[in-house]
Amino acid sequence: MNINNPQELLEFLSNIDFGYVDKEGNKHLGTSTPKSWYEEYTLQSPEQFKNSLCGNCYDQVEFERDWFIKNSYEVKTFFEMVQLDYQNSYPSHSFLVYKDNNKWCWFENADLINRGIHTFDTLEELLKYQYNKYLELLDSFNISKDEIEKIIIREFDKPESGISADAYLDYVINSKKVSI
């Protein structure tokens, strides 16, 4: 696999299956997450992801992080969710941003509606834009105003590979708080 730039990375990722790999190594495809995913999920290492070619945004971000760091980019990773309980009906999302030529770029593959590389002058501008995209998605779930106030955004460092969904969520939720 010879990926030379972020656009080639995005093209490579366009061929992966969205879903998750369970603790037994079985693939579960699709965007709907059955209740069992929470018990079955394990965060893949970048190497496992490259071999399975299947993963959700959590797995994809770690694969992306690995590529960007190996290619000397400054990166930050973020997580957002409606903080009710871990098994609520609203989607959570992890995403990666990187710095290129003094601009901040939101690198998005897992969210097919917003798939692409989106460039901004500042990190703040990028985060506000992405937060509004998350709100648009949540609108389709008929989220209440009270629940909107429970949205959290966290900046997180690389988690340990192989952790469960519960451990992943504990890790990212207890990471650095981001205010928009």
Convert the pLDDT of each residue in 29-62 to its tens digit.
Answer: 876 666 677 889 999 999 999 999 999 999 999 9
Render pLDDT for 93-113 as a digit per residue (tens, 0 to 9): 999 999 999 999 999 999 999
Residue 156, CA distances (Å) to 59, 94, 169 in order: 14, 9, 11
Domain residue ranges of the chain, discontinuous segments joined by +: 6-177
Q: In sequence order, which residues have a C-beta less than 8 Å from that of residue 25 and are 6 or more positions away?
A: 52
49, with CB counted inside 10 A (0-12, 13-18, 19+), is buried
- Identify whether the C-beta of residue 93 lies closer than 8 Å to the C-beta of residue 162: no
Q: Is 1 helix (H, G, I), strand (E, B) or coil?
A: coil
Q: How many CB atoms lie within 10 A of CB 7?
A: 11
pLDDT 10s digits, 135-168? 999 999 888 899 999 999 999 999 999 999 999 9
